[in-house]
Amino acid sequence: MTSWGRAWPLLSLLLFVPGARAFDAVKVSAPSPAGVADASALDKREIRAQLMPRRYTTLAAEIGAKINRLPVSEGGHFRVGEMLISFDCSLQQAQLNKAKAALTEVEQTRDANLRLNELHSVGKVELDISQAEVAKAKAEVASFAAVLSKCTVVAPFSGRVAEQKVREQQYAQPGQALLEIFDDSALELEFIVPSKWLVWIKPNQAFQVAIDETGKRYPAKVQRIGARVDPVSQSIKLSAVIDGKFNELIAGMSGKVLMSSPSP
């Protein structure tokens, strides 16, 4: 007897026994529309956010020179306009002094030619050359003065030093990163929410955020709403700010956004 012959009685039993359904175990569900599952998951999941500084930047060397001083240590506070880096610019200062001396020399020659010109005792070409030499010397002085101004780096805003990438007495190359700084006057939050929340989320809307590192809740308010919706996840980015000054909060901390839609 073939294998089909042996299997036929069992198959017949399944087919003809009253109430038996041979294909109950196979259930096929229709696929969900694209993005719906993602949006539903976003509705139910915990919304996380990280504290970020309002402004941050990396200060780099604009000249090649040895670092003399780094008065603000890593983690230290500073005010806008305060000196953060000082270079040894004795060479640049000497070049500026030399350029100033050259300027004085050509100015004297030009002035003498101007007096001779009044007496018609100098040629026009010679006078023009002396005036051009003065302009050239002034440009040299301005160039070396501009370089010398790069010998001190001041804070573009008030804040803290996040990372010190160099040390005193180290020679810095032009373009080399020196300090990472940030503005800690206000800490911001960025997080993702379902796009359907746009019907009730507004700028300046208040909510709370529970910070993991402190175990506390803090007031916050929405600052900006993203410019476009992600069509795949049906979500949008929000930017918010901690509403108040809390010394225990620092950049990099993270927590849970406590925000829910209003009751219908």
Q: What is the CATH number of the domain that holds 122?
A: 1.10.287
- In the chain, the amino acid numbered 16 is F
Residue 256, token pair as written in the block: 């849970």
Co-location of 223 and 94 in the same domain? no
Statement: residue 136 has pLDDT above 50: yes
Co-location of 59 and 111 in the same domain? no
- Which has the higher per-residue pLDDT, 251 or 178? 178
Co-location of 168 and 65 in the same domain? yes
Statement: residue 263 has pLDDT above 90: no
Residue 31 lies in a domain: no
CA-CA distance, 240 to 219, in Å (whole number)? 10
Residue 13 lies in a domain: no
Count of domains forming the chain? 2
Residue 5 lies in a domain: no
Statement: residue 260 has pLDDT above 90: no
Co-location of 236 and 111 in the same domain? no
Co-location of 162 and 253 in the same domain? yes
Residue 48 lies in a domain: yes
Co-location of 43 and 170 in the same domain? yes
CA-CA distance, 220 to 257, in Å (whole number)? 9
- Which has the higher per-residue pLDDT, 219 or 27? 219
- Domain-terminating residue out of 150, 182, 202: 150
Cβ-in-10-Å burial (0-12, 13-18, 19+) of 218 comes to: buried
CA-CA distance, 133 to 152, in Å (whole number)? 31
Per-residue model confidence (pLDDT) at position 29: 38
Do the Cβ atoms of 151 and 89 come closer than 8 Å? Answer: yes
The domain in which residue 83 lies consists of 36-87+153-258
Co-location of 234 and 185 in the same domain? yes
Residue 2 lies in a domain: no
Residue 122 lies in a domain: yes
CA-CA distance, 174 to 147, in Å (whole number)? 12
Co-location of 76 and 95 in the same domain? no
Cβ-in-10-Å burial (0-12, 13-18, 19+) of 243 comes to: middle
- Domain-terminating residue out of 129, 150, 171: 150
Co-location of 95 and 115 in the same domain? yes
CA-CA distance, 13 to 18, in Å (whole number)? 9
- In the chain, the amino acid numbered 195 is S
CATH number at residue 159: 2.40.50.100
CA-CA distance, 65 to 34, in Å (whole number)? 58
* pLDDT tens column, 157-182: 999 999 999 999 999 999 999 999 99
Interior angle at CA 145, CA 71 and CA 133, nearest 5:
170
Residue 165 lies in a domain: yes
Highest mean predicted confidence (pLDDT) among 9-13, 20-24, 133-137, 246-250: 133-137
What is the b/e burial string over 60-86, where b = at least 16 CB atoms within 10 angstroms of the residue's CB? Answer: ebbbebebeebebeeeeebeeeeebbb
Co-location of 135 and 189 in the same domain? no
Average pLDDT over residues 98-117: 92
Co-location of 95 and 221 in the same domain? no
Record the pTM: 0.66
Query: Considering the chain, what percentage of its residues have pLDDT values greater than 90?
Result: 59
Pairing of strands 159-164, 77-78: antiparallel
Co-location of 64 and 111 in the same domain? no
CA-CA distance, 182 to 57, in Å (whole number)? 6
Per-residue model confidence (pLDDT) at position 187: 87
